Amino acid sequence: MILIVVSVCTATGAWNWLIDPETQKVSFFTSLWNHPFFTISCITLIGLFFAGIHKRVVAPSIIAARCRTVLAEYNMSCDDTGKLILKPRPHVQ
């Protein structure tokens, strides 16, 4: 959730930064100084990525996929929340 909020804030700040006519007339660092919302949200987004927030978003789906692979051998599966799903046994004749 926090990754979505910070990403939207960064995108909104970037849009305001790019459409500002003063951005073309001043230096890069002055332009960043004039747009603190974009600067702070961009630094926060970079900090979150360095802290590994992107791994927390991807990790649950990887774990669920690996569990499904192992459980398939026993005619079982699991949903994205980890709930066990029992499949019907194949009838051997």
| Dihedral of alpha carbons 66, 71, 77, 82, sign | negative
Q: Is residue 50 part of a domain?
A: yes
Establish if 93 belongs to a structural domain.
Answer: no
- State how far the Cα of 76 lies from the Cα of 70, in Å rounded to an integer: 9
Model pTM score: 0.60
Count how many domains the chain has: 1
- Host domain of residue 25: 2-86
17 inside domain: yes
Q: What is the pLDDT of residue 55?
A: 75
Residue at 91 is within a domain: no
Tens digits of per-residue pLDDT, 30-82? 999 999 999 999 999 999 989 988 777 777 777 888 888 898 888 888 887 77
Within a domain: 73: yes
In a domain, residue 92? The reply is no
pLDDT computed for residue 38 by the predictor: 94
pLDDT over threshold 80, residue 23: yes
Tell the residue number behind the tokens 């960043």, with chain if given: 32
